[in-house]
């Protein structure tokens, strides 16, 4: 049974500070997905740390070398997409079903490569969405709600215009202009409770460090945790499993407990 709404979190780049994020999530009993490249500009976790993280959280791919696909030749993009899955599965011993393109940039040919590599879903950087995963070819495409980062108006409007999403535009005009990301998280979460959908918070741990936002992140996680009894917290893959139950890869994989209370608007 699909709940009326759920909460999921995701973290990009595999920075060593992701372990601090994982500790915070564990403390608040929240679930989510870490998208980890082998190397990135600001450093990444060692294989042993990734293996340990994968015992508790879902791990998804983010290319091998944190490569923006639209800036790479096709052969390189192919290697980055295929290689990242094998590299992570060798480390974790678990299937890697989700891929997140660095910078959120990809083209239709990359979607085909992601599908051929055996992934089942893509996490995008679409902001201000409460949608359940959507079909994109044979894949599921997963938008986000809020990034734990204080974007300016231009960034939000570019993000919205790229996708021509009137619902996201309405959400920005109604809530986004005056709110910083912790407040926006609370407002958009409340909207998800009213109308249903997926509240998806994402960020980079290194951004949280740069902005000295650990306390604010902890406050937002506590806010989400305090509502867990009526709003299930899932990994990105589990959201795909309950949001698109006809997708066998995710349906077989999810351990979502269908007895979790359903939120009524």
Interacting residues toward Zn ion by CB under 5 A: 12-13, 102
Any idea what DSSP says for residue 104? G
Cβ closer to Zn ion: 15 or 193?
Answer: 15
C-alpha to C-alpha distance for 241 and 253, rounded to whole angstroms:
7
The least CB distance from residue 61 to Zn ion, in Å, is: 11
Cβ closer to Zn ion: 102 or 182?
Answer: 102
Cβ closer to Zn ion: 12 or 238?
Answer: 12
Cβ closer to Zn ion: 67 or 242?
Answer: 67
C-alpha to C-alpha distance for 146 and 158, rounded to whole angstroms:
15
C-alpha to C-alpha distance for 41 and 128, rounded to whole angstroms:
27
Q: Where are the alpha helices (DSSP H) in 130-247?
A: 153-163, 166-171, 181-195, 205-210, 214-225, 236-243
Cβ closer to Zn ion: 39 or 258?
Answer: 39
- Cross-strand pairs, 142: 123
Cβ closer to Zn ion: 125 or 225?
Answer: 125
The least CB distance from residue 234 to Zn ion, in Å, is: 22
Answer left, alpha or beta for residue 197, where phi above 0 means left and psi between -120 and 50 means alpha: left
C-alpha to C-alpha distance for 103 and 163, rounded to whole angstroms:
15
The least CB distance from residue 103 to Zn ion, in Å, is: 7
The least CB distance from residue 26 to Zn ion, in Å, is: 23
The least CB distance from residue 206 to Zn ion, in Å, is: 10
C-alpha to C-alpha distance for 70 and 237, rounded to whole angstroms:
25
The least CB distance from residue 104 to Zn ion, in Å, is: 9
Neighbour order of strands in the sheet with 98-99: 134-136, 139-142, 121-123, 98-99, 58-61, 32-36, 5-12, 197-203, 146-147
């Amino acid at each position: 049974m699909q709940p009326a709404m759920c909460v999921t979190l995701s973290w990009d780049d595999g920075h060593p500070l992701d372990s601090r994020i994982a500790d915070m999530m564990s403390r608040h009993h929240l679930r989510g997905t870490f998208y980890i490249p082998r190397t990135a500009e600001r450093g990444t976790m060692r294989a042993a740390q990734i293996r340990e993280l994968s015992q508790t959280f879902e791990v998804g791919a983010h290319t091998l070398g944190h490569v923006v696909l639209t800036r790479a030749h096709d052969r390189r993009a192919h290697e980055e997409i295929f290689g990242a899955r094998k590299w992570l599965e060798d480390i974790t011993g678990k299937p890697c079903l989700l891929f997140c393109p660095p910078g959120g940039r990809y083209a239709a040919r990359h979607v085909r490569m992601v599908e051929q590599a055996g992934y089942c879903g893509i996490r995008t950087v679409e902001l201000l969405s409460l949608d359940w995963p959507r079909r994109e070819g044979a894949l599921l495409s997963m938008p986000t709600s809020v990034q734990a980062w204080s974007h300016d108006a231009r960034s939000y409007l570019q993000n919205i215009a790229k996708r021509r999403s009137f619902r996201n535009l309405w959400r920005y005009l109604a809530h986004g202009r005056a709110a910083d990301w912790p407040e926006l998280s609370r407002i958009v979460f409340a909207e998800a409770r009213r109308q249903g959908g997926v509240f998806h918070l994402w960020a980079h741990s290194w951004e949280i460090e740069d902005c000295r936002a650990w306390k604010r992140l902890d406050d937002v996680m506590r806010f989400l945790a305090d509502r867990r009894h009526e709003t299930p917290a899932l990994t990105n893959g589990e959201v795909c499993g309950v949001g698109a139950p006809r997708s066998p890869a995710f349906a077989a994989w999810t351990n979502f407990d269908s007895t979790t209370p359903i939120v009524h608007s």
